[in-house]
Amino acid sequence: MKPTKNNLNIYSLTFRLPIIIWQLLFFVGPVLFMVAMSFFLVKNYRMTEAFEFINWTKMFSKNYFWDSYWFTIIIAGTSTLLTMLIAFPASFTLAFKVSDNIRRWAIFMLIIPFFTSYLVRTFSWYVILAEKGVINAFFSYLDLGPFKMLNTHIGTLVGYMTLTLPLVIILQTVTMANIDRNLIEAAYNLGCKPKSIIQRVIIPLSKTGFIIAAVFCFILSFGDFVAPFYLGGSQEPTLPILILDTTKSGQQWPRAAVVAIVMMITLFSIAFIGIMTAYSKSFKK
């Protein structure tokens, strides 16, 4: 029997059903419940169903909420900028200066850290960043230090980069490795110096991959709890830490839901802007 268009649509829908059900159960459902919970009330340390805006007005009127919000954006943005700058030389070398075989092995080695718990990798920095750790031991030979790196913004940034740097290097490397070498050779033959080739050829052609890498880096840093809590000391709480503190203060899960929703809206907005920027030329065409 010759397959009809309706049969093909049914088959395609059947294969999509597991993904649709998974998304509904583990993403859409919890998000909808969290939105509903943000309107609940807490009375005598117990949540009661309601539809009140008191949690939203309370959180938006608190200075500590906005301080945490802008601090989270600033430190996540700083981490993204530093990670992109640190990753570029390594990615450029892997994309243009080594053989394909070495590049494959390097990418494999960059994937290996993800086989280990991020929490374990974060705690390993205690030995390195402590006042009597590896770095300060090195500085002591130079009659410098000790420098305080734990429970500071430096510790938070190190934790963020522990999470994001391997991923950013991989994305940048794959992006630059797929550039047509003929375009680079043409620029070189036309008299472009290496610096100009990077600025006028490589970076513009890698724009999409770079923006996607930066968006991933920002999203992971913005939503991370481990680094600012364990390495940063949570002296200036980020939004994930604020969620924890809010739930502990009188079981205020509805107000914590407000913070989580604000985080999601912010991340979706940044991801949308990043995608629109990355594919702006495609949309114009």
Bridge partners (DSSP) of residue 41 are 48
The string of DSSP codes covering 77-137 is HHHHHHHHHHHHHHHHHHHHTS-HHHHHHHHHHHHGGGGS-HHHHHHHHHHHHSTTSHHHH
In Å, how far from its chain's centre is CA 111?
16
State the pLDDT at residue 59.
94
Q: Which of 7-16, 111-120, 162-171 has the highest mean pLDDT?
A: 162-171
**pLDDT greater than 90 at residue 136:** no
Task: Tell me the per-residue pLDDT of 138-173, one tens digit each, with 9 for 90 and over.
Answer: 888 888 878 888 889 999 999 999 999 999 999 999
Kindly tell me the burial class for residue 133, based on how many C-beta atoms sit within 10 Å of its own C-beta (0-12, 13-18, 19 or more). Answer: middle
Name which residue leads in pLDDT, 58 or 191.
Answer: 58
Beta carbons of 139 and 146 less than 8 angstroms apart = yes
Q: For the chain, how many residues are written?
A: 285
Task: Tell me the per-residue pLDDT of 60-69, one tens digit each, with 9 for 90 and over.
Answer: 999 999 999 9
Interhelix angle for 239-248 vs 253-278, to 10°?
Answer: 160
Long-range Cβ pairs for the range 59-67 (8 Å, 24+): 59/255, 59/258, 59/259, 64/237, 64/242, 65/242, 65/259, 67/236
State the pLDDT at residue 284.
47
Whether the full predicted model's pTM is greater than 0.95, yes or no, is no
Task: Tell me the per-residue pLDDT of 251-274, one tens digit each, with 9 for 90 and over.
Answer: 899 999 999 999 999 999 999 999
**pLDDT greater than 60 at residue 91:** yes
Q: Indicate the pLDDT class of residue 3, thresholds 50, 70 and 90.
A: low
Which of 46-60, 74-88, 93-107, 270-284 is predicted least confidently? 270-284
Average pLDDT over residues 126-131: 87
Query: Could you give the residue range(s) of every CATH 1.10.3720.10 domain in the chain?
Result: 65-284
Nearest to 152 by CA among 170, 135, 164: 135
Q: The CATH number of 65-284 is which of 3.40.50.740, 2.60.120.260, 1.10.3720.10, 1.20.120.550? A: 1.10.3720.10
Beta carbons of 176 and 202 less than 8 angstroms apart = yes
With pLDDT > 90 as the criterion, what percentage of the chain qualifies? 56
